[in-house]
Amino acid sequence: MLALGKLLELTLADHEPAAKIQLTQEGVRLRWLTEGALEVTPPAAVDTGLDLLLSAGIHGNETAPIELLDLLLHEIARGELKPRARLLFLFGNPEAMRRGERYVEQDINRLFNGRHEQSSGREALRAGELERLAANFFAQPGRRRLHYDLHTAIRGSKIEQFALYPWAEGRRHSALELARLHAAGIEAVLLQNKPSITFSAYTYAALGAEAFTLELGKARPFGQNQAVNLDRLANHLRALIAGSEPPVEPADVQHLQLFAVAREVIKHSDAFQLHLPQDIENFTELPQGYLLAEDIAGTRWVVEEEGARVIFPNPRVQNGLRAAILIVPADAAQLA
């Protein structure tokens, strides 16, 4: 196997390879760009015109997606998986991965779309680097741009594998891309309705890619992901990489559960209280009238929406950041 296919091993060891470029027998080029970043380029004669960015490890303790990208890279480096798309593999937060922690100083997935310029430290610098890597990768005109940012969640979920679809002014969410996600095993999609500061929101809004944050189960340490079944996603990614994706129809989106953001609960101060059990799962339904959270100056969040559910509840975020999202069922009529 080509040594550059061991990107995870190199990243965890904090080792820079001596050889930055290697070729498979079929002429596929692997190029090490920087820590945790590898570009894969197929021969021009077989290139399908797809630029596919696959990122994981934005949170260092979310290991199942990291192991999935490692598996795909090994298959490419051994010549078993023959790319016909340009690929960029990114391990987002190498130091947090080495420590087995979510982040070192601050959540890197809250530092995109300009936020890193207002901050400092390790994660802020890395967010800026990830933006540059993605922008350079997606710089070629006339090609299809797709980004999957792979995560696992802090807590359990009533819907285990789901996606967040970013929003940008003047663009509509694509039924065809959602049908592809359904084929990959994704059960539900949250259609966002305002700008965000995550990595996928950056590539969607600033770089024109179709981009998704994929939540793929609960975060566990390396080697303990047997309960996370990513077979359908792995096969979907192999098909995209090899240019062998079976046809999908936009009508297939009818099999997905679609949700829209009703409200975000923002933590304003250290007095913030989130009135939810510590072990509550994502997509738990909340009754109308439920007092969800309280903060300074008599601020109260009361559930008013019918069929409301909560995702990503986390009262320990920094002040000024989102502590929970209230979502409601959405209509496929919103899709392009």
Catalytic residues: 215
85 residue type, one letter: A
The residue to which tokens 């095993």 are assigned: 185
Nearest to residue 326, comparing CAs of 279, 297, 288? 288
Helices 231-242 and 175-183: crossing angle in degrees, nearest 10, is: 120
219 residue type, one letter: A
Neighbours of 17 (CB within 10 A): 14
Residue 94 corresponds to which tokens in the numbers above? 């190498």
Evaluate whether 227 touches 152 at the Cβ level (below 8 Å).
no
